[in-house]
Amino acid sequence: MKSIKIVFILSIALLLNACEREVEFKPGTYSPKLVINSLFSNETPLRVRVSKSISVLDTNRDYTISNATVQLVTTGSAEPLLYDAIGDFYYIANNPIPTPGTNYVLQVQAPGFITARAEAKLPVLPTGFTFELIENVGVDNNGIPQDKLIIRFKDDAKTDNYYRFMLLYYSQFSATFIPFKPDNALSENVGLVSNSDGSFLLSDRNKNGQTISLEFTIPFDISMETPRFMVEFASLNKDFYEYQRTIAINNQNGVGLGSFFNNPVQVYTNIQNGLGIFASQFLYRDTIF
């Protein structure tokens, strides 16, 4: 019996003798691209960061570009953006706040690169927000009481809409609101993508025109201060949703290189001839006492 066992174990060992081997990676010649990162909202002026992509084999890791020309085109007129060397970003003189409905077109040129272009429009906010905090809805595994927070809003049936929201609790210790990331948010709120900063993304594709309800189970003792919570809600344009969604999944996959169970993620971009994102969001905040 022992010899049979040895033969079997040897056979298993041979069968499962998975092997690893290091090989050289030859991706071919890589052409760096302009990378544009810009997010504007109803609260913040438009700022643009410009950098470049580099080959994965480049060990220098220098992404900077300091000689780019950035222009913003609105309603047919082009306005050059100024460069802030300290903050390493480009901005519009006088820092105007973007307005809903305006189409913003960004053009970036730099020596040695193809001109990159992108456009974005500020979305509008949905209506009918309500928040409901129900105390003592149950107990957790350790017998500690739990509360429930329900956020409701009405989706606009005429358009494809994309949202991001974040729940923050007030910490007296730091006197700030801190993102709260309940473990059960995904299972209780189907169709959400979680970001590493504690926010969640939601598309209305399955809930078009409906009243969307999001429920969070909250431990009783997480915040006894007042105001207890703040809800940060944003209506996103589709480009920013796709960008955030793919980045979130990219981060969940670990180092972003995929695995046996997850395909590598091609992070979304709306930059023609380049990479990155030129996006917008309409922000809304409210506190819950």
Partner 1 sequence: MKGYYFKLLILVFFVFPLDMQAQETHELYGTVKNSKTNKPIANATIEITASGEMATTDGAGGYELVTSVSSGTYNIKVSAEGFRTFQTTHFIKGESILNISLIPISERDDDEDSTFYSENPVFIEDETHPSKKLVSTPSLKEMPYILAEEDVVRTLQALPGISRGNEGGTGLFIRGGNADQNLVLYDGVPLFNSGHVFGFFSVFEPEQVEKVNIHKGIFPARYGGRLSSVLDVKIQEGSKDTFGGYFALGLFTAKVGISGPIDAAGKTTYTVGGRRTTPDIFRMLSADNINNSDRVNFYFYDFNGKITHRLDNKKTLSLAFFRGFDILNFRAREDFIDSINFDPITESLRLKVGWGSSLASVNYTIQHNDQKKSNYRLSVSDYRLLFDLSEERIVNASTGRRTFNESIRYGNKITDYIAQADYEQVINRTHRLFYGASTTLHHFNPGEIGVKANLSSGRNIDTIIGPGRRNTLETAVYIEDVFALYSDVKGNLGMRLVSFNTGNGANQFFAEPRLHISKTIDSSLILYTALGRTHQFLHLVANSGTIFPTDLWLPATDKLKPMQSDQFNIGLHKKINPMWRVSVDAYYKWMRNVVDYREGLEIGNILSDWEERVASGIGKSYGVEILVGKTSGRLKGWLSQTFSKSTRQIEDVNFGRPFDFKYDRPVDLSLNISYDLNPYHTLMFHFAYATGNPITLPTGRYTDINGGVIYEYENKNGFRLRDYHRLDIGYHIKNPYKSVGARQTWKFSIYNVYARLNPILVFPDFESPTPTLTEFSLFNFIPGVTYQINF
The strand pairing partners of 117, in sequence order, are 107, 272
Structure-token match 């544009």, residue found: 36
- Give the nearer residue to partner 1 in terms of CB position, either 75 or 187: 187
Minimum CB–partner distance for residue 23 and partner 1 (Å) = 5
In sequence order, the 6+-apart residues with CB closer than 8 A to the CB of 5 are none
Cβ 178 to partner 1, closest distance in Å? 18
We find the least distance from the C-beta atom of residue 245 to partner 1, in angstroms, to be: 8
| 204 or 228: CB nearest partner 1 | 204
**Angstrom distance (rounded) from CA 6 to CA 217:** 53
- 3-state class (DSSP) for residue 75: coil
Q: Cβ 26 to partner 1, closest distance in Å?
A: 10
Provide, rounded to whole angstroms, the least separation between the CB of residue 7 and partner 1.
Answer: 8
CB of 142 to partner 1, least distance (A): 7
Q: Smaller CB distance to partner 1: residue 93 or 255?
A: 255
Whichever of 43 and 286 has its CB closer to partner 1, that residue is: 43
C-beta of 228 vs 237, nearer to partner 1:
237
Residue in 159, 128, 103, 87 with CA at minimum distance from that of residue 280: 103
Q: How many CB atoms lie within 10 A of CB 56?
A: 10
Buried b (16+ CB within 10 A) or exposed e, 200-230: bbbbbeeeeeeebebbbbbeeebbeeeebbb
CA–CA dist 53, 62 (Å, integer): 9
Euclidean distance between CA atoms 35 and 143, whole angstroms: 51
CB 250 within 8 A of CB 242: no
Cβ proximity to partner 1, 163 vs 229, nearer residue = 163
Q: Which amino acid is at 165?
A: F
Q: Which of 54, 88, 41, 38 is nearest to 68 (CA)?
A: 88
Q: Which is nearer to partner 1, 130 or 184 (CB)?
A: 184
Q: In angstroms, give the least distance from the CB of 52 to partner 1.
A: 7
